[in-house]
Amino acid sequence: MKWIDVIKIANHGNPKPNRRVEKTNEEWKKILTDEQYRITRLKGTERAHSSEMCTLFEPGVYVCICCKTPLFDSTTKFNSGTGWPSFSEPIKENAVAYFKDTSHGMYRVETTCNTCDAHLGHVFQDGPMPSGLRFCINAVSLEKEK
């Protein structure tokens, strides 16, 4: 996947997920911490460098904190120096959804879990090759499986 693919998907629609998980706000509040809820359901952002997940590079899979869908493999994780965990590609083409985000006077592409719509972060075009992508993800949105 390249930046042009991300833009095409954001403009024309996301691939169908393997499954859907839908809950009411009250159901999400029962299973998530206040911070997890704020970030994943209300599109919040954690403080930069607030998680040790940025500097951990052990093998494993990163799953959505809300629905446990696999999102990223540790082999695509890299140290971006931005203060948020960064990945060069999702684990599967249909794991992550992409949406144009013009909030805060910027043009960005928001990333969400394609299974449950949890806000993950944003994707940028300044990552390592071969994809050139940097998925800048809130650590609170993820859980690492061993």
pLDDT of residue 105: 81
- Tell me how crowded residue 61 is: count the other CB atoms within 10 A of its CB: 16
For the stretch 92-120, pLDDT in tens is 999 999 999 888 788 899 999 999 999 99
Token duo for residue 35 = 């911070």
Asked whether the predicted pLDDT for residue 4 surpasses 90, the reply is: yes
CA dihedral 138, 126, 55, 65 (to 10 degrees): 20
Q: Name the nearest CA neighbour of 138 among 9, 8, 38.
A: 38
Identify the band that residue 45 occupies on the pLDDT scale cut at 50, 70 and 90.
very high
pLDDT of residue 122: 97
Catalytic residues: 136
Asked whether the predicted pLDDT for residue 25 surpasses 80, the reply is: yes
Q: What are phi and psi of 94, to 5 degrees?
A: -100, 15
Q: What is the pTM of this model?
A: 0.94
When the pLDDT of each residue in the chain is averaged and rounded to a whole number, the result is: 95
Sign of CA dihedral 108, 96, 61, 121: positive
Q: Is 141:39 a contact under the CB 8 Å cutoff?
A: yes
Identify the band that residue 63 occupies on the pLDDT scale cut at 50, 70 and 90.
very high
The residue extents of the domains of the chain are 3-47+64-145
CATH superfamily of this structure's domain 3-47+64-145 = Peptide methionine sulfoxide reductase. (2.170.150.20)
Asked whether the predicted pLDDT for residue 146 surpasses 80, the reply is: no
What one-character DSSP code corresponds to residue 61? E
Q: What percent of the chain has pLDDT over 90?
A: 90
Token duo for residue 113 = 């879990």
Cα–Cα distance measured from residue 70 to residue 67, given in angstroms and rounded to the nearest whole number: 9
What one-character DSSP code corresponds to residue 19? -
Residue 17: cis peptide before it, omega within 30 degrees of 0: no
Asked whether the predicted pLDDT for residue 68 surpasses 90, the reply is: yes
Q: What percent of the chain has pLDDT over 70?
A: 99
pLDDT of residue 88: 97
Question: What letter represents residue 52's amino acid?
Answer: E
